[in-house]
Amino acid sequence: MSLKTALVFPGQGSQRAGMLDNIPELDALDRLVDAAEALSDLELRTIVRLGGAEDLADTRVAQPLLYLADWAWGTILLESGVRPFALAGHSLGELAALALADVYSVEAGLELVVERSKLMATTAAATPGGMSAVLGMPSDDIRTAIGGIPNVWVANDNSTGQVVISGTHAALELAAEALAEAGARKIVPLAVAGPFHSPLMAPAAEAFAELLLGADFADARIPILQNTDPAPETDAGAIRTRLISQITQPVRWTETMAALAAEGPLTLIEAGPGSVLTGLAKRIDGVTPAAVESSDLEELVEGVLNGG
């Protein structure tokens, strides 16, 4: 049986210095970085080459750069003949997936991403908080352990062994204590700028919803599995509705991977910087994950085109 192929796109946290440098030449990328600089009023080209981890963690920097890196790698794979049966993106990565599925143009998506990054940065500054990864505890047990603590929520259900919680700093401290007592193997604070994918981001979500309602969306030419609903979708209206609630709702990545794996033997290609999503998929039966940055691109494409 030949393997099906799905493309997945990483989100904030996968950014790193130099992440645009090893992307094979793509004529549009340089022009799009110029556009991102103009829209954001930031020297993104300099930051991505020379910036430190703190510079790159700035939401206004990370989101447009990741969007362009994800889109560029996805474009290269599609132009090489890879024909995925579905696309999915983790948080910010979902917006790159939508551009590659022609729900909107890459330029229109870039405008949305830059505005999203500004709104999320502003809301995070007004409501300080963060996120922590909880290792070695199922999501249902985590919800039970933190259920009595206000202002903390499950934000990313990434895999059976990794769940991310989000909330105010004080709530995260209390949650860490409760989770340790309940048997969590490890709780790791993440280097993010705010309590993303939680109700605390409601001001950003409400403003972004207005932008999405005014944007032109087309039916997806490749089915999309979205963070708020991992069922494959192509209808423009349904995709828009799902995206509207994404900023405040959890990333249902475990369910997304289960839905993809249910399609049968699968090659899962992480199209973007790093290998975070590849790592999360390594223990899923029937899934062969590969990250573009750590693979020989020609061999990877040849393997996909020859049926895995």
- Distance in angstroms (rounded) separating the CA atoms of residues 79 and 271: 13
Q: Which residues of 120-153 are buried (b: 16+ CB within 10 A; e: fewer)?
A: bbbbbeebebbbbbbeebebeebeebbeebebbb
Annotated catalytic residues are 91, 197
Contact partners, residue 159, CB within 8 Å, separation at least 6: 253, 254, 257, 280, 283
What strand order describes the sheet that includes 4-9?
229-233, 224-226, 86-89, 4-9, 266-270, 287-291
CB atoms closer than 10 angstroms to residue 299: 10
- Distance in angstroms (rounded) separating the CA atoms of residues 239 and 225: 9
- Evaluate whether 225 touches 7 at the Cβ level (below 8 Å): no
- Distance in angstroms (rounded) separating the CA atoms of residues 120 and 278: 27
Residue 205, helix vs strand vs coil: helix
Looking at residue 199, the DSSP 8-state letter turns out to be G
The candidate with the shortest Cα–Cα distance to 250, out of 124, 151, 147, 163, is 163
The candidate with the shortest Cα–Cα distance to 303, out of 97, 293, 87, 292, is 292
- Distance in angstroms (rounded) separating the CA atoms of residues 16 and 21: 11
CB atoms closer than 10 angstroms to residue 89: 31
